Amino acid sequence: MDDLHEAEFSWPYGDASDVILTGSFDHWSCTMHLPKGTSGFVGNVRVPWNEKVPYKFIVDGKWVTRNDRPTELDGAGNLNNVLIAPSKP
pLDDT of amino acid 62: 97
pLDDT over 90 at 32, yes or no: yes
| pLDDT classification of 2: cutoffs 50, 70, 90 | confident
Q: Is the pLDDT assigned to residue 1 strictly greater than 70?
A: no
Instruction: State the pLDDT at residue 14.
Output: 81
Q: Which residues contact 30 (CB under 8 A, 6 or more apart)?
A: 20, 22, 58
Mean pLDDT of 41-61: 97
The phi, psi pair for 25, rounded to 5°, reads -65, -25
**Distance set, CA 82 to CA 14, 15, 36, 65, 66 (Å):** 22, 24, 22, 10, 10
Q: What is the pLDDT of residues 60-85, one digit of tens each?
A: 999 999 999 999 999 999 999 999 99
